[in-house]
Structure 1
Amino acid sequence: MPIHDSASKGYEAGASIYVSGRPDYPPEARRWLGEVLGVGPGRSTLEVGAGTGKFLPLLEDCGGHILALEPVEAMRDLLARDHPGVKAIAGTAEAIPLPDASIDVVVCAQAFHWFASAAALAEIRRVLVPGGMLGLVWNVRDESVPWVAALSAITDPWEGNTPRYRTGEWRQVFPAPGFVFAGECRAANRHVGKPEQVIVQRTLSVSFIAALPAGQREEVARKVRSLIAATPELAESETIAFPYETRMFAYRRTE
């Protein structure tokens, strides 16, 4: 299955800054993986849309057999380089090259909105064992903070028809045949670092921004740096904390 242009072009071009520009995940996400999804020793877990492997440290810390599916070659290459203990697989959510009922847990971190379809869910259900778990995870920026809302106002006009968590369109595929909702968990999160890293690089790693021609990307970066310069709490601090909320959704495959 083809993948969206924003993903194929943007992540191919922006793979190198994806890891540093994106936030990690809070301790609550690690507990959720073990206690709700059951990721751990003796269990097999597949991350679909694994990107460069940003979420993999949490899965590796839980233990068990970890596999990572990623369609964009540049991101998959970085994943394989940085996580040699994880098997990196080429493929899409609609065509997972694994046997039926071979996986205990499927996780999609920052990814499900790209392939939220009946076909993808049917394929995920196929590879899950009966009673297996599907976990969906997103780091969502806290736009109640004025400068975060101003940042979104700079980037959002460029989104076009790019699938995003914030539109809520991914929810339309649920309820889905073969899955039952098993709960939602939320946790505060922060990405701490220099403004250039956690704001500018984060912005440039957004798929539809990374896919822009060089001149337009530079214009976006200029506006973001101007926002930083005009915001005292950002301009006067060598290190800042970008506020996020991590949202986690669990679904169980029915018999």
Structure 2
Amino acid sequence: MSAQPGLVFGVNAANYDVHRPAIPAELAEWLIPPNCGLAVEMGSGTGHFTRILVDRAARVVATDPDPGMRAWLAEQLPTATVMEGTAEALPVETGTADGVFASSAWHWFDPRAAGTEAARCLKPGGVLGVCWYDRGQSDLWLPELQRMVMSAHRTDRPVHQFHLPEDLPFGPVEKRVVTAARQMTPEEICGLFTTYSAVITLPDEERKSLIGRFLVHLRARAVENGTETLEVPFFATLYRASRTG
């Protein structure tokens, strides 16, 4: 995981955990093999996906390079084994994992190195599962805020695309996309945007001013609609591939 800006989220892990929506468990189940013994997670963050894994796997090893994220996760989910690690160097023995997973994190990784490492850790037939859960396009967003968030993504690695090099020992990659909408208050929407790296790394006064203007804008839209909440589009993009050999 890249240190800039990938390691900024642990600065306020509690804010990230509260305001970044988690992928619904019923969608994530598509990624997890039945009777999953050891599940390994790359870039676990504050544990949104880890919470799903601990209910569905006999043992969970959750890894993250960010000490702030690891400290939060270890406190919140004592049943998971929380360890320092990157997607390119997992602290797991070769051929022991039934599943290796990354939720809203793969875009921070070197895809060849991460795919190679997942293949090393997985048993034959084990599953590499990758997903993202994020907001869709909406006329609710302030244009400058949307541009800022999108500009933080690596232009050479589309955020919701997952490709494995053909020479890695995996079968065909399966893909599933599910769209939905959430009802959120203006305050909740602003909270969501404070979890993006481009916003976190702004100077304090600039960040407060931008989010303040966004809140005024969203509250005005809610008044126009005569509602306390606004409809926010979300989509889940999921990929899975089985280890061959």
Partners of 2:198 and 2:19 in 1: CA distance: 15
Residues 110 and 242 of structure 1, relative CA distance in 2, 3 Å threshold: same
Among 118, 121, 145, the alignment partner of 1:127 is 121
Match of 1:7, SS state, is coil
Among 181, 198, 208, the alignment partner of 1:208 is 198
1:54 partner amino acid: H
Q: Which residue of structure 1 aligns with residue 108 of structure 2? A: 114
Q: Deviations over 1:191-242 (max 9, x none)?
A: 4443212x11110111221122212211321232132033236874334443
Partners of 1:20 and 1:121 in 2: CA distance: 30
1:119-198 aligned at under 5 Å gives the runs 119-143=113-137, 145-147=138-140, 150-151=141-142, 153-157=144-148, 160=151, 162-163=153-154, 167-168=158-159, 171=162, 173-175=164-166, 177-197=168-188
Match of 2:113, SS state, is helix
Displacement of 1:152 in angstroms is: 6.1
Match of 1:167, SS state, is coil
Kindly indicate whether the alpha-carbon contact (under 8 Å) linking 1:51 and 1:79 is maintained by their aligned counterparts in 2: yes
Partners of 1:110 and 1:103 in 2: CA distance: 20
Partners of 1:68 and 1:165 in 2: CA distance: 27
Residues 173 and 250 of structure 1, relative CA distance in 2, 3 Å threshold: closer
Structure with the bigger percentage of helix: 1
1:87 partner amino acid: T
Q: Which runs of 5+ in 2 are unaligned?
A: none
Q: Which residue of structure 1 aligns with residue 20 of structure 2? A: 22
Q: Which residue of structure 1 aligns with residue 62 of structure 2? A: 68
Q: Which residue of structure 2 aligns with residue 217 of structure 1? A: 207
Partners of 1:209 and 1:39 in 2: CA distance: 39
Residues 110 and 249 of structure 1, relative CA distance in 2, 3 Å threshold: same
Q: Which runs of 5+ in 1 are unaligned?
A: none
1:88 partner amino acid: V
1:121 partner amino acid: G
Is 1:38 equivalent to 2:42 in the alignment? no
Q: Which residue of structure 1 aligns with residue 236 of structure 2? A: 246
Q: Which residue of structure 2 aligns with residue 52 of structure 1? A: 46
| Identical columns (%) | 26
Moved more, 91-100 or 161-170: 161-170
Specify which structure has the bigger relative contact order, considering alpha-carbon pairs within 8 angstroms and separated by 6 or more residues.
1
Residues 64 and 120 of structure 1, relative CA distance in 2, 3 Å threshold: same
Q: Deviations over 1:130-170 (max 9, x none)?
A: 22110011113221x321xx346513235555438983585
Match of 2:190, SS state, is helix
Normalising by structure 1, we get a TM-score of: 0.84
Displacement of 1:12 in angstroms is: 2.5
CA RMSD of aligned residues (A): 2.6
Q: Which residue of structure 2 aligns with residue 3 of structure 1? A: 2
Match of 2:172, SS state, is strand
* Structure 1 runs of 4+ with >6 Å offset: none
Partners of 2:51 and 2:226 in 1: CA distance: 33
Residues 189 and 27 of structure 1, relative CA distance in 2, 3 Å threshold: farther
Paired residues in the alignment total: 245
Is 1:87 equivalent to 2:85 in the alignment? no
